Amino acid sequence: MNINEIAKMAGVSRATVSRYLNDGYVSKEKREAIGRVIEETGYQPSSQAQTLRTRRTKLIGVILPKINSDTVSRMVAGISQVLNQKDYRIILANTANQVEEEWKYLALFQENQVDGVILIGTIFTKKHRKLMEASRVPIVVLGQKLEGYPCVYQDEFHASRELTECLLQYGRNIGYIGVTQKDEAAGLGRRKGFEAALKRQKRTCPLENRRETTFRLEGGYQAAKELMEKNGEIDTIFCATDTIAVGALVYLRERGIQVPGQVQVAGMGDTQLGQVMAPALTSIHFFYKTSGMEAARMMVDLLENEEAVTKEIRMGYELKIRQSTRSHSSSWDVPQGSQTAQRNA
């Protein structure tokens, strides 16, 4: 028996049960329904939950994959902006991309009485789900779509498909550098968009033209090195992140390979580093700060609005065309200036 089952049997939302257990506001009718189910089932909350709080802590736990990330910093900036305005404070938990650390913090935040948890997710395991189902405080997922939970996520599929189609206009032999497909967004979602574009254009990217690497710059460098040494005919490289793309650009520059004249490169994430590279990196701009703000608003709504419902928000994106890819003027010339194409959620 867990909080989700209690909510279903009482005919209320998970957030309402959470408020009940934390002595928050719940209407008389719903409070009686929850109390009746708990009495009938013999449900025993954790020892921490048995000592109900008389007031909220006004603290929100934020679990993030790595603190030195441009993407994550933009999300956290958005979260902080909204929560500060609502007089909440955040506790950051940096997991350094370690799944076990995420499990630890999910359990730890329950013990330390935060009002809610915003989880910037990457890979969700069965243990993640078990811990989340047992949680007595609201959890909002940021960066991934997770069935049954309020979440804010990026349109990875359509963004990567559009970026790939842009590259295919002026590329004959394309290479792909991605990350593990266990990562639902940057890994699986972006790869599916890449493959959908290939299918629509009746093009192929054989396995020998594909690599999986880490999210680090040196991973992009090494993957680009392997691709070019394996197939010197590659004239286009799609990278799942800007960091990977910058690593690829560094390798190509060291080898004296002209970008975009000989090889064009694009990434995803529109980081500041990609913008200041020479040549500037064509990329997908995701509204990471805005998505953080939406996740924070969602959390506040769950905590303060009895009628709050579980929502899923898919964010929009922009395709930023810069000098690392070829233009229509000449298939092998460096394009001038920067263009923007916006797509809404």
Q: What share of the chain in percent tops pLDDT 70?
A: 90
pLDDT tens-digit profile of 199-244? 999 999 999 999 999 889 999 999 999 999 999 999 999 999 999 9
At residue 339, the pLDDT reads 47
Average pLDDT of the chain, as a whole number: 87
Q: State the greatest distance between any 2 C-alpha atoms of the chain, in Å, as a whole number.
A: 74
Has residue 59 got a pLDDT over 80?
A: yes
Contacts (Cβ under 8 Å, ≥6 apart) of 148: 4, 310
Residue 54 has pLDDT above 70, yes or no: no
Q: What is the distance between the alpha carbons of residues 190 and 160, in angstroms, rounded to a whole number? A: 5
Q: What pLDDT score does 335 carry? A: 35
Torsion-angle region of residue 153: left (phi > 0), alpha (psi -120 to 50) or beta? beta
Among 344, 327, 329, smallest CA distance to 154 is for 344
Closest to 14 in 3D by CA, of 311, 340, 239: 311
pLDDT confidence tier of residue 310, bands split at 50, 70 and 90: confident
Q: What is the pTM of this model?
A: 0.78
For residue 170, give the nearest of 268, 262, 249 by alpha carbon. Answer: 262
CA distances from 247 to 221, 274, 321 (A): 4, 10, 19
Gap between the Cα atoms of 296 and 141, Å rounded: 10
pLDDT at 175: 98
CA pair distance 160, 194, nearest whole angstrom? 6
- Separation between Cα atoms, residue 316 and residue 322, nearest integer Å: 20
- The one-letter amino acid code at 93 reads A
As a whole number of angstroms, the distance between CA 219 and CA 203 comes to: 26
State the angle between helix axes of 28-41 and 14-21 in degrees (0 to 180), rounded to the nearest 10: 80
- Per-residue pLDDT tens over the stretch 105-157: 998 887 778 999 999 987 888 898 888 888 888 999 999 998 889 999 999 99
Give the pLDDT band (50/70/90) at residue 67: confident
185-to-101, 145, 239, 244 alpha-carbon distances in Å: 20, 8, 14, 15
pLDDT at 45: 62
Strand order in the sheet with 210-212: 210-212, 174-178, 236-239, 264-266
Distance of CA 72 to the CA centre of its chain: 9
